[in-house]
Amino acid sequence: MQSPLQSPEPSGQSAPPRARVEEARIVELEAAVRAGLSSRPRRHAMSDVPYADWTETLQLVNRFADQLRAAEERIAELERACEELNERAQREIADMTERLENAEIHARDAGERRRDAEEWLRRIHDTIHKRFGAEMMVSIARDANRRPPP
């Protein structure tokens, strides 16, 4: 069975020279990796590791655990602060919504009062002109005739 690296091109021809060089490099790398794996020293049993190495490792683990705890505490503080901020914002939004609704009601009421006042002013104006309009014009004309010319 042929490996995928040695298979001929789909057209049935063999791979071009450049591809053959790359295949050779891959084969060389595979051999080097296999040789490197076999030449690695074996790990020692736990009893062979000096005590100082374990203490350094434990100190490192403890330091990282302390940093992790501190980070978790800081996260918890930030989450509490975020929740408090969110609750305060929700209260302020509710308060602002209520104030806006009250302002809209007052604006509607003020608009109705303005329309009522305008209607009453129009009625008073019309009544004055209907009842006193002709009499006032005659009175104004008389007063104008009585004044001496300037």
Q: What is the pLDDT of residues 58-113, one digit of tens each?
A: 889 999 999 999 999 999 999 999 999 999 999 999 999 999 999 999 999 999 99
Contact indicator for 9, 15 with CB cutoff of 8 Å: yes
For residue 34, tell me if it sits in a domain: yes
| Two structure tokens written together for 83 | 């929740």
Tell me, yes or no, whether 71 lies in a domain: no
- Cα Rg of the chain (Å, integer): 50
Structure tokens at 56: 């350094």
The answer to whether 30 and 5 are in contact (CB under 8 A) is no
Q: In whole angstroms, what separates CA 58 from the centre of its chain?
A: 41
Does residue 57 sit within a domain? no
The tally of domains found in the chain comes to 1
Residue span of the structural domain in which 26 resides: 1-41
Asked whether residue 131 is domain-assigned, the answer is no
Q: Is the pTM of this model over 0.85?
A: no
Q: Quick one: pLDDT band at residue 15, thresholds 50, 70, 90?
A: low
Distance CA 79, CA 69 (A): 15
